Amino acid sequence: MSHIVSHTQSHTGLVRKINEDACVDLFEAGVWVVADGMGGHAAGDVASQLVVDTIRSIVNRCREVSVRILTDALHQANSELCQYSQRELKGHTAGSTVVILLIDKFHYHYLWVGDSRGYILRQDKLRQLTRDHSQVNEMVEQGLLDSAEAEHHELANVITRAVGVDSQVSVDVVSGVWQPGDLFLLCTDGLNKELSDTEIQQYLDHNNIADANKALLHSTLVSGARDNVSTILVKLANQQNVNGKDVTIPKYLKL
């Protein structure tokens, strides 16, 4: 039986004056969320917080969370953001990217809109499970741009999908069977703009996920932290005691 530990953090970075990221750890429900208010748009901080608050409110009312419930929550957040833009911003767009991790008794599920990312570290191999909804990623998939150039391309900030931008939003989902020892990373693009996947992985090779997460943030700040950065680490440990501390077993994982 696996036991879960998690660590959540968000930082304004060294350039931006406002933190337009929002995140939440809904441990007892098996849900973790990272949202990134769209830079250059009005009220990005309001947008990301509305997305997170909507998900939290719906999850807290549910006896059992599912992919369908979380998808519906994102559709509701999209509708509320569109109404907010019309009511408070004279039609100017308030949008947000989002990535959600749901862990149930046997499976993990990533749901996302935009370029906030979800990774898995399994057997010392880090893989990005989400696919960026961005202009440069489409160019990479079409063979027009090398993936190594994508992060620093002039169109790197142009996303093709976000919550609150259109009247309807399309949510992508990827699922799999979790294994004891799996480590999941949710992050806004403030992390991957500064660190490569190889650099990210080297900080994840640490027994203490709180220390690993803090090391990720420190390295991002050292690299300049041009954007807000938010990261959540979720570890499916395979032992009752992790780093000398007892680990709580979430209700939804008790078999």
Which domains, from first to last, does the chain contain?
Answer: 3-253 (3.60.40.10)
Q: Specify the pLDDT at position 243.
A: 45
| Alpha-carbon span 203 to 34, nearest angstrom | 20
Q: Phi-psi category of 107—alpha, beta or left, where left has phi over 0 and alpha has psi -120 to 50? A: beta
Assign 143 to helix, strand or coil. coil
DSSP for residue 1: -
Q: Phi-psi category of 91—alpha, beta or left, where left has phi over 0 and alpha has psi -120 to 50? A: left
Write out pLDDT tens, residues 115-128. 999 999 999 999 99
pLDDT beneath 50, residues of the chain: 1, 240-246, 254-255
Q: Specify the pLDDT at position 255.
A: 41
Residue 170 token pair:
């399309």
Query: Residues in the chain, how many?
Result: 255
Write out pLDDT tens, residues 183-231. 999 999 999 999 999 999 999 988 899 999 999 999 999 999 999 999 9
Nearest CA-CA partner of 189 in 1, 42, 48: 48
